[in-house]
Structure 1
C-alpha cells in the first residue's frame, strides 16, 4: 500500500503526467503571493494533500500534521484528503491551475514518476537527507541521484496464519512452495480455504504477486522468464486445487483480511496494517515470510508505504516551511507514534529494537521491511506500465485465458 496500495489506479496518468513539466516550471515563476521569492517571509498556513480519507487514519494524520504545524510556528495546516484512486488526477488538476499543495503525500512507487516531471523540489535544497533510513524507502524516493521524499513508516506483505487452526490440523507454517500447497490443501474444508490472497486486476494485485515472483528469481524487466511463469503457476495451482477461492481475482487485501478474521481462510498473504484489526478480533495468529520455491532462495517482498514531498510552488517561504513539516513528520517520536497507530514499521533503522520491544505483535514484519525491495528500484518511473502487464497476465492465468508460460507476453501485447 502501500499500505500496500489501496487499490489505486493511475487513471491514464502515465501519459498525462508529461504536462506537469512546463506547469511545474510555471509554478516556480508565479506570483509573489505568500512571500514569493523571499524565503524569510512569514508563513501562517500550509496546505497538505494526501489520500488518508478513511478513519481512523485521516484523524490520526490530521492531528499529527496540526501538532507539527504548531511546532514549526505555522498557525493553520489545511489537511485535504481525497480517495486513493483520484490522487494523481488531483495533482494534475492542481498543477494545471497552479494550485499545488505545499506538502504532497505520495505512495512510494509514484514518487519517481512525479519527480521526473519536475513537479517536486529536491529535499537537499532544504538541508534534508535520509541518513539512517532503511534502503528501500530511500531508493523509492530517489530520482536521478536526488532525494525527493521522506517516508515515516513502511510495510510489506507476509504470510499470516491462524495458530489454532494450523495446530488442530497438525500443520506447520510453510517454508517452501510445496509445503504451502500441501498445507493449504490440508487446511481446506467446508467453508474454510487453506490460503487467501489478492489477485485483482490492479496495482494491489500486482503488489501481492511480487513475493512469489521475486522470491523465485523473477524480475520485472524479464516478465517472460520461466521464473515468472513458475510463480504464475503457483497461483494457478492454489486456485485450481480448491485450496484458494476463485474469488481471489476480485478480493482486495481488506477482503482477504475479512476472510481470515471470519476463519474462512487459515492462512493469508497480507500486510502489517491489518494487525490492529486482528488484535481487536482476538485472532491467535503468527507471521512468517513468504515461502521459497527452492533451497538457497531468499524470501523477497515489496516495500509499501507513503512518503511526504515538497512540491515546487511560487512561494520560497512556504516551500521552506513545508520542508520543516516533512522533517517533523519523520522525527523519531512521530515515526514511532505513526507506526503504532497505523500498523506499520518505522523506516529509521535505529528505531527497530525499540519498536519491536514496545509492539510485539509487529515483530514478524520488522526484518522483512528492513529488507523489502522497492518496486521502482529497477524501472524507476516506468514501473506503473510494467505493473499493468503483471496484473493483466496474472488475471489471464487465473481466468483460464492464458497459460502461465504465455501470459506475460500476451498481456504485454494487449
Structure 2
C-alpha cells in the first residue's frame, strides 16, 4: 500500500530519531519513572475531549480516587474540545503528546498502524481480568494479537419506541425487520412518521451487512455489492415510497433524540446518549427501548467505543499504566459509569450497577456481546465520507441506490489507491 498517512508524511524516521535523542521510548526510560518506588512524585498527563458537566464531575472524582490511592502520582488532565484527533496527531508527531489519551475505535486502526500507540500486553497482570471486557469492544483495539487500548465505555444502538403511539395504533414492539417496516407504515399518520432515520453509514452499518455483504473488504470499499444494496434498499423505500421514514432535518430538528422527543417520530434507533437527553429535555415522553429488530433471524447492532491508550513515546510508562489500568479497572470504571451516562465495558461492572437489568439500558447492554464495533480498517473514514455523500442522494430520491453506491465505491477506492 502506498503510504501518505499523516505520520509518514512528516517522516517516521524523524519521529523515531527524536524519541531516541530524548530517551523517551527506551525500555530503561519506561522502567525508570519511579512510579512504584515512592521516592518522588510523577506527573502523568491525560488528554480527552471532555463531556457534559455530570461526566466531567465523574471523571474528576475517579481521578481524585486514583491519586488518593497512588500518593506518588499526580494526574494532569487536559480537555481538547475542538479538532481532537488533529490536535492529538500534531502533538504526537512533535513528541509532545500526553502519556495517556482517549482513542475512538473509529480512529484506532490508522493511528495504531503508525506505531505511536504503546502495546499493553506486557503491562497486564492476572488481577486486571481482561476476560471481563465485552469481547467485541476489546477486539476493536487489538491488532495481530497485541492490545493497544482498553475500552473505557461504549454505547450500542437500540430501538426507542413511543409507548402511547404504539398502543393507540395497536402495534406491538417490532422484533423483526419486516415487522419494523410494517409498524412504521401503520404509525405514520397525523404528521407523525413511523421512523426517524439517520441516513449515514455509522448508524446503518449493521443493516448494510445483514444479508451477508461486506461494507469493507480488504480495507477497501465494497458497499456497492448486491448484498449490501439489497440490505439498504428498504430504508430508501420507507422514505420515498411508503413515506414512513424521515430524516430529522426534514422536519426541522437536528437528530434522532430530538425528533423522538418532540414526538414527530414514533420510533428511532439511537444509543445510550439519548436516555439522559430525553430525561432532561423531554421528561413527559413515555417510551421504551428494545434490542434492534432481527434481520433473517439474526441479532445485530452497532457499538461505539473509546479506549484509554498509552503514548509509545511516554517517559513515564509505569505510572501511565497505573493510571490506565485504574481507569479501566473495575473500581475506576464503576465510579466513571455509575450515573449511566456511559456504559461500562466490563461485564461485572454492568451487572453490579444493574444496567443489564435496567428497563431502558438493558437492551443496550444486551447488544454488546454481538455488536459490530464502528471500526473497520485504516480506510474507514474515506469509505464513510463517500458512502454518506452518495447514499443521501438516493435517500432523497435523486438517483437509484445501486447507481449511487457504485459511484461512491469507485471514488472511495480511487482515494484509497492514491494514498
Q: TM-score, normalised by structure 2?
A: 0.83
Q: Give the number of equivalent residue pairs.
A: 389
**Partner residue, 1:202:** none
CA contact (8 A) 1:349 1:370 kept: no
1:274 maps onto 2:265 in alignment:
no
1:233 & 1:367 partners in 2: Cα distance?
Answer: 27
Shift of 1:390: 2.9
2:141 & 2:14 partners in 1: Cα distance?
Answer: 22
Change beyond 3 A, Cα 1:249–1:104: farther
1:271 & 1:206 partners in 2: Cα distance?
Answer: 15
Shift of 1:269: 0.8
1:400 & 1:116 partners in 2: Cα distance?
Answer: 39
CA contact (8 A) 2:305 2:373 kept: no
1:28 maps onto 2:35 in alignment:
no
Higher alpha-carbon Rg: 2
Higher strand share: 2
Shift of 1:206: 1.6
Following superposition of structure 1 onto structure 2, how do residues 160-199 of structure 1 map, counting pairs within 5 Å? 160-199=160-199
1:20 & 1:282 partners in 2: Cα distance?
Answer: 56
RMSD over equivalenced CA pairs, Å: 2.8
CA contact (8 A) 1:389 1:412 kept: yes
CA contact (8 A) 1:49 1:81 kept: yes
**Partner residue, 2:366:** 367
2:11 & 2:98 partners in 1: Cα distance?
Answer: 14
Query: Where in structure 1 do 4 or more consecutive aligned residues deviate above 4 Å?
Result: 32-38, 246-252
Change beyond 3 A, Cα 1:23–1:275: farther
**Partner residue, 1:292:** 294
Higher helix share: 1
1:15 maps onto 2:17 in alignment:
no
1:157 & 1:270 partners in 2: Cα distance?
Answer: 5
SS where residue 59 of structure 1 aligns? helix
Shift of 1:314: 4.8
Once the two structures are superposed, residues 229-276 of structure 1 have per-residue CA deviations (whole angstroms, 9 ceiling, x without a partner) of 123312212221322224458999x72101111211111010012212
2:317 corresponds, among 316, 319, 323, to 319
Following superposition of structure 1 onto structure 2, how do residues 8-407 of structure 1 map, counting pairs within 5 Å? 15-18=5-8, 19=10, 21-22=12-13, 24-26=15-17, 28-31=19-22, 36=29, 39-41=32-34, 42-74=40-72, 76-83=74-81, 86-127=83-124, 130-199=130-199, 205-220=200-215, 221=217, 222-240=222-240, 241-247=242-248, 255-280=255-280, 281-294=283-296, 296=297, 298-315=298-315, 318-354=316-352, 355-356=354-355, 359-376=358-375, 379-407=376-404
Structure 2: gaps of 5 or more residues: 35-39, 412-419
Structure 1: gaps of 5 or more residues: 1-12, 200-204
CA contact (8 A) 2:156 2:303 kept: yes
1:309 & 1:14 partners in 2: Cα distance?
Answer: 24
